[in-house]
Structure formats: structure tokens, C-alpha cells
Amino acid sequence: MDTATDVTKDVLFERRGRVAWVTFNRPEARNAMTFAMYDRLASICDEVEADPEIRVLVLTGAGEKAFVAGTDISQFRAFSGPQDAIDYEARIEGALARLESLARPTIAAVRGYAVGGGAQIALTCDLRVCTPDAKFGVPIARTLGNALSMSGYARLVDLVGPARAKAIIFTADMVTAEHAQAIGLVNEIVAPEEFQERVSALAEKIAGHAPITLQVTKESVRRVLHSRRPPRDTDLMVRAYMSEDFKEGVDAFLEKRKPDWKGR
């Protein structure tokens, strides 16, 4: 179980003038998210929104290998019943929805892998800037055999359209930085040696603009997209997370072997 001290070290929060920075700080685990880290992200959004001097929030990962390489898979072994699946998706979606509704522009600064939950965090941000080696993916059809929340699917469809969204999930392939930019997942690709400076400059430029205009525009777009989204369907979550395939996927992932899918 994560303690408050641990999660404070795992999710760093720093204010640099008008721009606040969140750094997912588990480089030894490619910044994989614990459940407590999702909770901390949500609470940081509350802190940012309570401070009128903060105009922009930037999210990034420690090190050069990953933004966030998904959720820490070992936590899934504790799942024993349908309510575990429902509670997990509600918890993650709660954090993502809080980030999505934050009344400040958000920028995902991506180096390396943004996979699974990491891809979802990046896609929830307003803008995405990455290095040429960045890779985005939701390889659940190859790794765990689980599912995204309905909102998770909706965010992907909103950005790339239904056909590309299905291709990303069905093939479980990683999307390169160049391809991500071509299909609308990424706004800008920046060379590694210029990356920090460029992200900071972009954040400062936005921070210097009319804050109410930025906030109203962000919320208007969110409402347009949200109005098209279907209701939450817990039956689909339960079907995926309570399947034999999901248990096999978790075991295979942690045992570093290929899963043996049964379709049940």
C-alpha cells in the first residue's frame, strides 16, 4: 500500500512562476502508476485550480525512457470480484476526468513510452509535445486482455477517429512520434536537446494569454465532446476484468511470458 510519503516522492509537484509541473517519478519502473499516484494527480489538479497565479500545468515523466508506462500491473493481482474492476475504473476515470476538467491548459511533455494508463493521461491533456523517440500505445489486446473505460475509448476516438482508434487497440502496435503527429495524437515533435526549452517556452506563451479566454475555450470544447459520450457501462468492464483471460494476462505479464488466450 502506498503511503503519503511514497506518493509525494512518486509524483513531484513544482511551481515555476505561472507554470506548474507534475513529474511522474518512478524511473526504475518507467514511471508506472500506482493507484495512489492517480489519486495524487487528482489532488494536484485541485491545488492548481485553487491558485489563480498558476496559468498552465505541464505533465512529464522522470528520465528519458518513459512518460508513463501504464499502471503498475502487480496491483491487479488483488482483484477478486466484479466490484474491484468497477472501483478501479471509477478511480482511474475520476483522476482523468479531474485532469480533463481542470480550468487550466495542460501540456503532456512526452519522452519515451506513453503506454496504457500513460497514454490515457497524455490523451487527456490539452496539448502533447514529444521527442522523436516517443511511442504511444494501448496494447491491452496483446498484454492484459482488459478494457478501457467508456471515456477512455471516447477520448481516443475524439482525437483520431473510430477507424484509427480501433486499429490502435486491435493491432496493439506502438504509434511512433511521426505517425502520432500525422493522425492528430501529437501537436509537436521536438529534438531532445531542445525539448525542455521548447516545452517551457510553449507553456510560458500560453500562460501569458488571457486566462478566462483559455479556461472558457477549454471548458467549451470539453462540453462539446462530453455531450457525445455514452453513459458508463460497467457490464463491459466486469466482462473484461473478471475474465479468465485477464487473470492470465496479468500472470503472463508479471512472469514475462506470452499469454495463452482462451476467449473466456
* pLDDT, tens digit, 9 for 90 and up, residues 106-135: 999 999 999 999 999 999 999 999 999 999
Residue 27: Cβ-neighbour burial (10 angstroms; 0-12, 13-18, 19+): middle
Supply the mean pLDDT for the chain. 92
- Percent of the chain, pLDDT > 70? 97
Average pLDDT over residues 3-27: 87
Is the pTM higher than 0.75? The answer reads yes
- Ramachandran region of residue 106, left (φ > 0), alpha (ψ -120 to 50) or beta? beta
- pLDDT of 6 reads 62
Q: Is 4-193 in CATH node 3.90.226.10?
A: yes
**pLDDT for residue 97 is more than 90:** yes
**189 pLDDT tier (thresholds 50, 70, 90):** very high
Give residue 157's Cα distance to chain centre.
15
**3 pLDDT tier (thresholds 50, 70, 90):** very low
Between these two residues, 255 and 77, which has the higher pLDDT value? Answer: 255
**203 pLDDT tier (thresholds 50, 70, 90):** very high
The domains of the chain are located at 4-193
Residue 211's closest CA among 106, 99, 105? Answer: 105
